[in-house]
Each structure stands twice: as C-alpha cells, then as structure tokens.
Amino acid sequence: MKIQERDVNGVHILAPQGKVTLGDGDQELGEAVRQCLEKGNRKILIDFTKVSVLDSSGLGELVGCYTSIKNRQGSLRICGLNSRIFNLMQMTSLHSVFEVKDTEAEALAGF
C-alpha cells in the first residue's frame, strides 16, 4: 500500500491507496499517523477515496490511530469512504465515533 501525504492549511492529509487489510497496509497506516504525531501534527485527515478494501484489522488500526491522536489532544477526520467501507463503519457503529465526511473539502472546512 502507498500513502500520499500533504499539508493543507495546517491539516496533514494522509491518502492511502489500495487495501488496508491484515498484512497489507494496516500497519503502514498506523505508522504514518504515528510519524505525523511525532512531527507535531495534531489535525489529521485520512482520505479513503483510493482505498478499495478495509477489513477488521485495518479498522482496528484506524481505531488505534484515533486513540493515539486523541491522547495527544489532536483531531482526526476521515473522508472518501466507498459504500462497502461506509457500511462496515455503520455495522460497527464507528461512524458515530469518527468524524466522517463525504469529501476532502467538507472535512477540511470543519477543522
């Protein structure tokens, strides 16, 4: 899995591409978030537009990312979920935990 990174108006955007599954991207996402936090970034947006699959391991890593960010008084938003990933968020009730927006622009507007 590849993760593109950039900053927009003080928000660090991570844009993973491909799958975020056990052994294929889950740990990379967590490591990218940890590196953001170590660099002092406290506003993080994960854009899932180019993620095709998120499994329970990837979801667990995302929850770990959320916890790490909150523990450092940061904020996390996610956007660009496809219908399969959004349904997974609904089934696990995590859509009420994460701030989920449809687009990057909507997510950035609320920071």
**How many domains would you assign to the chain?**
1
pLDDT in tens, 2-19: 999 999 999 999 999 999
pLDDT in tens, 45-87: 999 999 999 999 999 999 999 999 999 999 999 999 999 999 9
φ, ψ dihedrals at 25, nearest 5°: 110, -20
Of 104, 105, 101, the C-alpha closest to 89 is 101
CATH number of the domain that residue 95 is part of: 3.30.750.24
Tokens linked to 80: 């660009």
Containing domain of residue 39, as a range?
2-109
